[in-house]
Amino acid sequence: MIIKPKTRGFICTTAHPEGCAANVCEQIDYVKSQPALEDPPKNVLVIGSSTGYGLASRIVPAFGGGAGTIGVFFEKPGTDRRTGSAGWYNSVAFEEEAQKAGLYAKSFNGDAFSNEMKEQVIAAIKDGPGQVDSVIYSLASPRRTDPDTGEVYRSVLKPIGQAYSQKNLNTDTGEVNEITIEPANEEEIVQTVKVMGGEDWELWLNALSDAGVLADGANTVAYSYIGPELTFPIYTNGTIGRAKVHLEESAARLNEKFGEGTAYVSVNKALVTQASSAIPVVPLYISLLYKVMKEAGNHEGCIEQIQRLFANHLAAESGPKNLDDRNRIRIDDWEMSEPIQEAVHELWELANTDNLDQISDFSGYREEFLKLFGFGLNGVDYDAETDPERPLISGD
Ligand code: NAD
């Protein structure tokens, strides 16, 4: 099959196996170019390990610290007629590289919210490394089935209290227009917290601990975002922001149960991922942010962000430092610095359809978006026949 990108709105329905592998290898090479981690975990469980921040969180401890990894994700394998999802091919490539490097790697494709997945992963830890000493929680999902009641909850990206009108970039057409998003009702807020809050994170940690597969002194981290005031109504003060507050409350409960310094929320930078491209308003902010940070020389992608998270915090001899007043790790510090935010704000005021290409990095945004699906990578022949069926070494 010759595989080309097929984009529809904020998704791309095809993915390229060699391109995804090249993307994973680029990230591995970056990690190998950095100093080895001081105090790396031995075995890491990454929940949501196939794309974006979770994939980077699997690569950094493995290739920067020799850690064994167990990855959990929800992806589609390819068939002879259809390409698999990018996260599937990323995971296949990760396992191949891990095997070459002699690193333990096991992957699970299925619903991380289910009791069955937790049981399977626990059984694999017992059979394999015995215990995990780090758990990274990096799920981004539009829905969750409650494992006990079977009830399905759906998350929404809406403001709370009042409607929100703001500039928005249609990433298909490159048009900047204004959108208005109506506020969520109470039920939508509750449902979003159920999906994207910390309930499932706590269920994972409790299940691992009850089964005796969580090492003494293990740590765990989940990811959050804050961003600029102009996106507060849709993010920080919106439904997803409520879920992130719940995540922080979960971290506090985990620390109470397992000891201070066990659970952290890390606030990460806004980056192009499959999850963030679905949030209204955010793609325009990211296009401007990339322009400003690239010019300032401090732009980072997922892999650079997570390298810094491990090197300076999770795998540093001293442990996590410079926590904020809510006990969060801040690797969004460069994004949130005053000069960067001021520059983005000035551009935001000016941005329109006509000047978008001059004042923003929309072309960089688009390149990055296609790269998520394995397109536009150097050294990949996109006109060549390729086999969409790629098995995972570890089965499933
Ligand atoms: P992503 O879409 O790239 O990755 C989501 C992962 O979750 C994938 O591995 C996917 O397979 C997995 N997943 C989804 N539903 C699942 C299910 N039911 N069972 C098993 N796996 C499932 O997302 P991302 O942007 O890397 O986001 C990860 C976390 O980082 C989220 O909590 C997000 O809020 C946070 N974050 C993202 C940004 C950003 O700009 N992208 C910034 C700060 C924080």
Predicted confidence at residue 209, as pLDDT, reads 98
Q: Which residue has the tokens 């227009």?
A: 177
Predicted confidence at residue 396, as pLDDT, reads 55
Predicted confidence at residue 10, as pLDDT, reads 81
Predicted confidence at residue 275, as pLDDT, reads 86
Tokens of 66: 């020799």
In this structure, what CATH number is given to the domain that contains residue 31? 3.40.50.720
Contacts of 296 (CB under 8 A, 6+ apart): 339, 340, 343
| Residue closest by Cα to atom 28 of ligand 1 | 138
Instruction: Tell me the backbone φ, ψ of residue 372, rounded to 5 degrees.
Output: -55, -25
Ligand 1: list residues with CB < 6 Å.
48-54, 72-75, 87, 111-113, 138-141, 223-225, 268, 270-271, 273-276
Predicted confidence at residue 274, as pLDDT, reads 87
Domain assignment of residue 1, yes or no: no
Q: What is the pTM of this model?
A: 0.97
- Structurally, the chain folds into a number of domains equal to 1
Domain containing residue 274: 7-372
Per run of 10 residues, the mean pLDDT along the chain (length 396 residues) is 91 96 98 98 98 98 98 97 97 98 98 98 97 98 96 97 95 93 98 98 98 97 97 96 98 97 98 89 96 98 98 96 96 98 97 97 95 97 97 83
> Does 235 qualify as catalytic in the annotation?
yes
Q: Which atom of ligand 1 is nearest to the CA of 139?
A: 7
Domain assignment of residue 182, yes or no: yes
The rounded Å distance from CA 81 to ligand 1 centre is: 27
Predicted confidence at residue 303, as pLDDT, reads 98
Contacts of 244 (CB under 8 A, 6+ apart): 196, 197, 224, 225, 236, 265
> Three-class SS of residue 206?
helix
Domain assignment of residue 268, yes or no: yes
The rounded Å distance from CA 196 to ligand 1 centre is: 10
The rounded Å distance from CA 49 to ligand 1 centre is: 8
Predicted confidence at residue 172, as pLDDT, reads 86
| Residue closest by Cα to atom 8 of ligand 1 | 48
Domain assignment of residue 218, yes or no: yes
Please state, as a whole number, how many other Cβ atoms lie within 10 Å of the Cβ of residue 252.
15
Domain assignment of residue 98, yes or no: yes
395/288 Cα distance (integer angstroms): 42
